[in-house]
Amino acid sequence: MSLKIRKNMLKTYVWSIALYGCETWTITAEEKRRLEAFEMWCYRRMLRISWVDRVTNVEVLERLSDGKSLWNNIVRRRNEWIGHIIRHEGLLKSIIEGTIEGNNRRGRPRLEFIQQIIKDQGCNSYVEMKRKADRREDWKMAANQSTD
């Protein structure tokens, strides 16, 4: 099979299964690193590069004539989904905007989903992000530029 067909099959079959539900994931730096390593592992398998061969990631990406796309895909899908949720009234919007009553647990606070979205969009607060999401054109432009 040609390289173009193999890349299309990887994006169609593997990425769709690996990224199922990624719109709702809270991804830590460690998980991001693992996702990027998985992407490179898939590329190496696709090019039939053995783990004992001394081939750098840069060289693998040059052979593919493609860049890393998995993380950008996750951020794009997450931004599209959250923009849709914020623009419409419903249960999910109430859940995202709501707070839980009670005392906080001891230790470091957990990473919050909405904080990741705010950081991805380059906003300072939820209100600023919500205003941007209400203007669909601004949101789409920001969502396309927010990938690392």
**Tens-digit pLDDT profile for residues 4-49:** 899 889 889 999 999 999 888 888 899 999 999 999 999 999 999 9
For the CA atoms of 113, 26, 75, 33, the dihedral, rounded to the nearest 10 degrees, stands at: 150
* Per-residue pLDDT tens over the stretch 118-141: 888 888 888 888 888 888 887 777
**Whether the predicted pLDDT of 146 surpasses 70:** no
C-alpha closest to that of 80 among 30, 1, 136, 37: 136
Domain residue ranges in the chain: 3-68, 72-144
Model pTM?
Answer: 0.78
Beta-carbon contacts of residue 25 (< 8 Å; ≥ 6 apart): 31, 74, 78
According to the model, what pLDDT value does residue 102 have? 73
Section 68-92 average pLDDT: 86
According to the model, what pLDDT value does residue 100 have? 64
* Per-residue pLDDT tens over the stretch 86-116: 888 888 887 777 766 777 778 877 777 888 8
According to the model, what pLDDT value does residue 134 have? 85
**Whether the predicted pLDDT of 147 surpasses 60:** no
Section 57-69 average pLDDT: 88
Section 56-80 average pLDDT: 88
C-alpha closest to that of 82 among 125, 35, 132: 132
